Structure 1
């Protein structure tokens, strides 16, 4: 007779759940056990969460007495109507309001998951779609955080672009990782620099090793935060080949995918779209195009890894906000995929105008003082001050006196003790008039800094 493995809370798991976990890890050519921390490998499904999932396709005859779902009759909210800017309204009727207010599946509100899978297949056509899964998270950073917690042990090597999004560094720094920082240029991560950074290891020596070698490669490929530049298709394919050679999982953090400047059909292909081996975890976000406050994103990637992220969610947030998920699902119901993509075009046009206003102000006030690359999307202008080796003190101690504030470049460096002559200016919510004033004030600040250095 088979014995049931026990979860961390002492409850015996049904054997069918054990088989599901084991088969998912072994169902691919990839050996995913290499990438999982001991903590993640020890996670087992929450029995109550798994039984609650049965409600998704439950028979009306099922008498469900397994979960502690609060009775919706006691919820004080009855219905709602959300007015759109075009005058139309999304009506949340009483039955739908119950979906908004009740516990839901950890992987996401099923109607929304279905819509996002359709959108992902349309935009990226993952070559291993049958072995791929998608879940909804409380913003893309929530998914990224759980993925890193799933794969990173204290002291691990982590391959990342530099400069790197500060939120990612904030997730990683408590692990005290050994960063393998790959410098970026005006076209993003450079494959030659990546290969050079990895040259201290031989690919055949680390392919199946679990500790003391890199396992993940983090990249923000489109309209990168903070530089605003994108990686072209040629470089992406070279980076994917290098990741394959060294057996790395690519963490494709792409919250600015829908805020690239240009036609959708001309966007560089995603790493997910070229993933023939099952080594890409992709993180998407609605924050930049629908709402940052709704806190919704989604993770797409190999089923064994996505299922592990679900286990991390089961013991933390349980699931992303049901209200937010239902609202976006109903928005897709109203708009359809074409309507959503049309909306993203309007978002791109808005930020493109913002970028042009920022560049015009920069040309006027910062020419000769700063250097920059033209952002290919997003919300940021990455400025280098050649005459200032470190912008930290200048920005944090003296900028406010000039009525302007930016983020000093050191905040985006893997080693925060290294001097950095860069700074990040956001043009997302600043009016053209404010941009003009802000960069004029910045130019005065830089000139004063240069005078201080002479003294």
Structure 2
């Protein structure tokens, strides 16, 4: 596939930084090579001599000597080589991607960084982008400065409506409009709705990508946090043409403070992202990469998968608790669908056309913070009666208090609306 058709003019004009390329050579060269090329500080000047970490299962490891020196040093922009190899093996085992030899991986500074780098390589000023509606706010933040044309595709309880997607694409082609180069999708535990896209819909979306020649940016930080009976099958596992840019993050499954994620995509697209990194922050945090590599080495694949199973059980229980509390406190006031994955409950308030003012003005007064639904819509200027509540971190007691306060906030808003209607003679 010719990936140049998908890249922006800025992306095409980027050039590799010679010093970054020399760093890459130095890491892969034979031991007898003596390098005077890089501007690396001497490890003897670092004030750290040892870093010890203990894992949740009681196992531990210590970074010292040469390994600690490497963890505190510059590395190639693509990532810490041992970690890259471990991630390649992880993707091969978990997704069995077709065309594996033509793909590559780049480590990024968390999912948001990967999202930004991937979109900015492909989306230019005014370019149309397909987005699920509602969708993750961090995507809009990236796209907005480029004045991208967002093409919203409505969702139901199972995610993107693929029949509607086909009609949208067919209509744009018939009207001679510019066709999208990429679709952004968050298929598992979608933020903010919590839906998990069924396999048949994933296949439908992939078929449409092939038919209408666009890429799929598969933003999947909750891939291992599904509450369905079967594990979701990734877009990467379906990708027979090299159209998928898969974005994984360690933030939700290991630690958000590590600031690590990784992109799996066709090698030319990974190369574009790597060059972009060379012009910005050089590479994701080395010490975080070395920590994750050691964890993967100690645990191995089976123990890592067991960790993911444990956190699924953990979050599923929290999902069940907040759903029961919402049913108790919001009965007659709001509607919601029990999420199939992720961190969030998407609640639609009855009798309130737009929750923005209610949440932003009454929230602090009532002692509860929520996110108004308009923040997640492709057109945030339009009224939205939804809010997003996270069940990931708050204690069960706080969840109960928050939803109790939210119910009082809704009642206060409904009372205000009713009084305003009476004053305006609308009742």
The residue aligned with 1:248 is: 214
1:296 and 2:267 equivalent? Answer: no
1:59 and 2:59 equivalent? Answer: no
1:220 and 2:186 equivalent? Answer: yes
**Structure 2 contact 166–208 (Cα < 8 Å) conserved:** yes
Aligned residue pairs total 419
For the residue of structure 2 that corresponds to 1:258, the secondary structure is: coil
The separation in 1 between residues aligned to 2:174 and 2:203, in whole angstroms, is 18
1:124 and 2:95 equivalent? Answer: yes
The separation in 2 between residues aligned to 1:92 and 1:215, in whole angstroms, is 44
The separation in 2 between residues aligned to 1:57 and 1:349, in whole angstroms, is 41
For the residue of structure 1 that corresponds to 2:171, the secondary structure is: coil
The separation in 1 between residues aligned to 2:113 and 2:374, in whole angstroms, is 24
2:233 equivalent among 269, 286, 307: 269
Go from structure 1 to structure 2 and tell me whether the alpha carbon gap of 1:246 and 1:203 turns closer, same or farther (over 3 Å shift).
farther
The residue aligned with 2:223 is: 257
For the residue of structure 1 that corresponds to 2:256, the secondary structure is: coil
1:281-321 superposed Cα distances (whole Å, 9 cap, x missing partner): 00001001110000000000111111110000111111110
1:123-169 superposed Cα distances (whole Å, 9 cap, x missing partner): 11111101111111101211110111111111111110010101111
**Structure 2 contact 82–293 (Cα < 8 Å) conserved:** yes
For the residue of structure 2 that corresponds to 1:371, the secondary structure is: strand
1:71 and 2:42 equivalent? Answer: yes
The separation in 2 between residues aligned to 1:390 and 1:197, in whole angstroms, is 26
Q: How far 1:87 moved relative to its partner?
A: 2.9
1:287 and 2:287 equivalent? Answer: no
The separation in 1 between residues aligned to 2:377 and 2:288, in whole angstroms, is 34
The separation in 1 between residues aligned to 2:134 and 2:337, in whole angstroms, is 14
The separation in 2 between residues aligned to 1:273 and 1:84, in whole angstroms, is 31
The separation in 2 between residues aligned to 1:362 and 1:304, in whole angstroms, is 47
The residue aligned with 2:425 is: none
For the residue of structure 2 that corresponds to 1:179, the secondary structure is: strand
The separation in 1 between residues aligned to 2:285 and 2:389, in whole angstroms, is 31
The residue aligned with 1:167 is: 138
Question: Unpaired segments of 5 or more residues in structure 2?
Answer: 420-427
1:33-69 superposed Cα distances (whole Å, 9 cap, x missing partner): 1111111001111111111111222222111111111
Deviates most, 376-385 or 43-52 = 43-52
The residue aligned with 2:200 is: 234
1:308 equivalent among 260, 269, 272: 272
Alpha-carbon RMSD across the aligned residues, in angstroms, is 1.4
For the residue of structure 2 that corresponds to 1:126, the secondary structure is: coil
1:440 and 2:404 equivalent? Answer: yes
**Structure 2 contact 173–179 (Cα < 8 Å) conserved:** no
**Structure 1 contact 203–245 (Cα < 8 Å) conserved:** no
The residue aligned with 1:137 is: 108
Deviates most, 362-371 or 324-333 = 362-371
1:401 and 2:365 equivalent? Answer: yes
The separation in 2 between residues aligned to 1:112 and 1:401, in whole angstroms, is 47
The separation in 2 between residues aligned to 1:204 and 1:129, in whole angstroms, is 37
2:151 equivalent among 180, 205, 213: 180
**Structure 2 contact 223–232 (Cα < 8 Å) conserved:** no
1:373-428 superposed Cα distances (whole Å, 9 cap, x missing partner): 11111110000013110000000001211111100000001111100000000011
Q: TM-score, normalised by structure 2?
A: 0.96
Q: TM-score, normalised by structure 1?
A: 0.90
**Structure 1 contact 137–143 (Cα < 8 Å) conserved:** yes
Question: Counterparts of 1:14-29 in structure 2 under 5 Å?
Answer: none
Q: How far 1:447 moved relative to its partner?
A: 1.3
The residue aligned with 1:12 is: none
Q: How far 1:84 moved relative to its partner?
A: 2.1
**Structure 1 contact 379–427 (Cα < 8 Å) conserved:** yes
The separation in 2 between residues aligned to 1:346 and 1:358, in whole angstroms, is 19
The residue aligned with 2:417 is: 453
1:80 equivalent among 46, 51, 57: 51
